[in-house]
Every structure is written in structure tokens, then in C-alpha cells.
Amino acid sequence: MALDKILVTRSSLPEMEEYVEEIKELWENHWLTNMGVKHNQLKDMLIKYLRVSHLEMMSNGHMALEMALQAMKLDGEVITSPFTFASTTHAIVRNGLKPVFCDIERDRYTMDPEKIEALITEKTCAILPVHVYGNVCDVEAIQKIADKHGLKVIYDAAHAFGETYKGKGIGTYGDVSMFSFHATKVFNTIEGGAVCFKDAGLERPLYELKNFGIHNAEEVRAIGANAKMNEFCAAMGICNLRHLAEEISKRKMVYEKYMSELSTVKGIKLNPVQEDLVSNYAYFPIVVEDEFGCDRDVVWQKLAENDIIARKYFYPLVNEYECYRKMHNSADTPIAKDISMRVLTLPMYADLDMHTVERICAVIKGI
Ligand SMILES: *Cc1c(COP(=O)(O)O)cnc(C)c1O
């Protein structure tokens, strides 16, 4: 029998019976979407779990970010990171805003606060950093700059679900945070997402924007979209959230196994352990340094030859995409460029067994 490929991630699912039990109610009330009972129940659970004051659920993380930027009525330039997924920048551009790329810190791969101020112009309205791999950005320094210049701060927290920093939910930092509940994320609703925010005044606009901007039966106030989370997705979220603590503790064991196997390998740089951060162990990125003796693509290839599918995440940089490279230049963000050429995320999910982790690490050590 051929060995199955080890993929970089594997979606969490509850027992099928548990999910069936959860959706039975839907056959009784025939209410499948538009903020039904499951939607409202999950929303309450998430506010508690994430330790945030306000939250609106959406059909996915990307729409959550788009809706947030629209609800905030931003205009002008947004300083953001090119070391991210397409969604972050697309949400800015699709709102008629201009992305301005700031370089990242070499150690934690998040926006470098020391490079923000040089990018601020009279048109700058917001800063949109990314908690890459669940690494918390330098939230204090970023907030200080934002306050000094009167800018909003919106975090792409797609990787940071459930984390706490200095005892507070990570979604409480900045004005707004977006979470993704995509199938590949630590917590999933199949597809889904949410936006958390400080200003209670955003609640109504966000609720209306995700439902076409409908204010009431006879009035449509804003040019909204359709970004509602349906009942089947919400039910999946309710089930998955019940088991999340256990899933994360299993991820932690995988993380610790990788750490013990790889921490002595010369030229393989591991993700930093951050003080005051309770991690969700979402990803296991390694950075292949010159000292290792061969480059990232060779490591990727060797793993692939052994049916282990690692991911060059994030490569290429957003400012190298065909749709952006005419206006932007990755030479302006040299550290992000360098990391994108060296980084590899290794398989990481709750059910990854220790023998497989050993096998993955043995391939790397054998190169
Ligand atoms: C997954 C992800 C998104 C988009 O979330 P979806 O739920 O897939 O729309 C945005 N930003 C980052 C960094 C992500 O990893």
C-alpha cells in the first residue's frame, strides 16, 4: 500500500454524530442562514473564548476584513505588511485604499515599528499589521505610533485565534482585529471569520454591511455585500470550539517534538518563543539560513520526495504578485524578501503523530 502524503495541515472535525446532533434543530425550524440560533449561539461563545467586547461573524476572514475597513469609512493610504496572504492586501485595495508596504522584523516576521513612521504621509489613515504564524506584533510600539499620528490600527489576526497576550485576548489590541475560521486554521467553521472591535458604534454598520447594507424592510443604507455565516457553518464552529482546548494541547505536543528534534540543527532557525504570549501553535515555520549548506527550495524538494508536503508560506511576497508588482517593489522590503526566500512551514496539526514528526525531522537532518 502506498504511503499517503503528509500534508502541511489537516482540518479538525468533530465526531460526525456530534455534528448531526447539532444540526438536527435546523430541520425543525427550517432557518438555514441570516443570523439564526446557531449563529447567535456561536457568537456568544466566541465573545467569551476570545475575551473581546464586540464581535461580528462573517462568511470568511477575508470578508470580515473587507467589511471592517468599509465600516470604518477609511480613506487614503494604509501601511501594511507584504509578508502575508493575498487577502490582507486585497481587502485594502478592494476598499479603494492604497497599500503602502512596510518591512518586517527579522526575528518574528511581523511589521517593524521602526520603519512605520518614514512611510506616514498626510494621506495615511491606518496601519494594518499581521500576527504572522500567531506571533504577536509589537502591539505597544504600533499603538504608540498610531496615537501620535491619529491613525487606526487593524490587525489581521487570522493566525492568532484564541491567543492571549499579557493576559488579554489578542483581539483586544488595536481598534479592530480579524480572525479567519477557514478549514485550514486552528479553529474552523468550514469557511468563516469574524471581526472584533472596540467601538460599539461599529456593531450596527457591520451587521448591516454583511447583509447587503439592509437597514430595515424598506431601507438600504450602505453598499454592503453578502458575508453572512450560515447555520451549518456556525454549528460546525460550536462543535469544534468544544474540542479546541484539547486540539491546541495536541498541537503543543507536536510543537515541542519539533523543537526538541530541530533546535540543535545548525542553520535551521526556529520561530521565536514570545514572552507573555499564550500561543495556539498554528504553524511551524523554519528559516533555512546560509549555514545550513543548501537553500530552502532543496529542503522543500527533499521533503516532497519523501511524500512530505511543506509550504513556502509566505512566498512570493504580496508586492511581487503580478497584480501588484507594477506599483510596488519587493526591494523596498528587503527583510521580508529575504525571509520569503528562506521560510518553510512544516506539517502541523493536532493529529500529527510523533513518529511522523521524527521522520520529517530525519529528512531535514539527513540533507
Ligand atoms: C486565512 C487568511 C486570511 C483569509 O481568511 P479566509 O477565512 O480564508 O477568507 C487572511 N489573512 C491571513 C494572514 C490568512 O492566513
pLDDT digits (tens, 9 = 90+) for 11-50: 999 999 999 999 999 999 999 999 999 999 999 999 999 9
Do β-strands 193-197 and 54-58 pair in parallel, antiparallel, or remain unpaired?
antiparallel
- pLDDT (mean) for 234-261: 98
pLDDT reading at 177 higher than 70:
yes
State the number of CA atoms in the 13 A half-sphere of 100 facing the CB: 16
- What does the alpha-carbon distance between residue 145 and residue 137 come to, in Å, rounded to a whole number? 13
Residue 159 sits at the vertex; the CA angle it makes with 252 and 165, to the nearest 5 degrees, is 70
Closest residue by Cα to residue 181 from 157, 207, 215:
157
Is the model's pLDDT at 1 over the cut of 50? no
Q: How far lies 86's CA from each of 104, 125, 330, in Å?
A: 16, 21, 15
Phi-psi map region of 64: left, alpha, beta (phi>0 left; psi -120 to 50 alpha): alpha
List ligand 1's pocket residues with C-beta within 6 A.
60-62, 84-85, 87-88, 130, 156, 158-159, 180, 182, 193
Whether 237 shows a pLDDT value over 50: the answer reads yes
AA letter at 150: G
Is residue 55 within 8 A of residue 292, CB to CB? The reply is no
Q: Which of 113, 95, 89 is nearest to 103 (CA)?
A: 113
How close is the Cα of 237 to the center of ligand 1, in Å? 16
Nearest protein Cα to ligand 1, atom 15: 158
Q: Which three cell numbers stand for residue 260?
A: 526538541
Per-residue confidence (pLDDT) for residue 2, from 0 to 100: 46
How far is Cα 62 from Cα 211, in angstroms, rounded to an integer?
15
Give the model's pLDDT for residue 20.
Answer: 98
- Amino acid occupying residue 278: V
Q: Can you tell me the mean pLDDT for 325-351?
A: 97
Chain CA centroid to CA 322, Å: 23
Q: Span 68-72, mean pLDDT?
A: 98
Residue that has been written with the C-alpha cell 464581535 in this structure: 55
How far apart CA 239 and CA 200 sit, in angstroms, is 28
How confident is the model over 294-307, as a mean pLDDT?
97
What is the structure's pLDDT at 4?
82
Pocket-testing residue among 8, 57, 60, 62, ligand 1, by greatest number of atoms within 8 A of Cβ:
62
Q: How far is the CA of 87 from the centre of ligand 1 (A)?
A: 6
Strand 176-180 with 193-197, pairing: antiparallel
Number of other CB atoms surrounding residue 273 within 10 Å: 9
How far apart are alpha carbons 220 and 7 in whole angstroms? 45
Query: Mean pLDDT of all residues in the chain?
Result: 97
135 and 157 Cβ atoms separated by less than 8 Å: no
* pLDDT score, position 3: 58
Task: End-to-end CA distance of the chain: give it in Å, rounded.
Answer: 27
When computed from its CA atoms, the radius of gyration of the chain, rounded to whole angstroms, is 21
Output the residue whose Cα is nearest ligand 1's atom 5.
61
Q: What angle do CA 36, 160, 208 make, to 5 degrees?
A: 35
Q: Nearest-CA neighbor of 174 among 206, 202, 193?
A: 202
Q: How many CA atoms lie within 13 A of 277 on its CB side?
A: 21
Among protein residues, the one whose CA lies closest to atom 10 of ligand 1: 87
C-alpha span between 284 and 300 (Å, rounded): 14
The answer to whether 266 and 148 have CB atoms below 8 angstroms apart is: no
Which string of DSSP letters, residue by residue, matches 34-89? SS-HHHHHHHHHHHHHHT-SEEEEESSHHHHHHHHHHHTT--SEEEE-SSS-HHHH
111-144 pLDDT, tens digit per residue, is 999 999 999 999 999 999 999 999 999 999 999 9
Q: Which atom of ligand 1 is nearest to the CA of 180?
A: 7
Distance, CA 158 to ligand 1 centroid (Å)? Answer: 5
Residue with grid cell 472584533, as numbered in its chain: 196
Q: What number of other Cβ atoms are within 10 A of residue 345's Cβ?
A: 19
Work out the number of other CB atoms within 10 angstroms of the CB of residue 99: 23
pTM of the predicted structure, to 2 decimals = 0.97
Mutate to test the pocket of ligand 1, among 87, 155, 190, 340 (most ligand atoms within 8 A of CB): 87
Question: Rounded to an integer, what distance in angstroms lies between the CA atom of residue 307 and that of residue 326?
Answer: 37
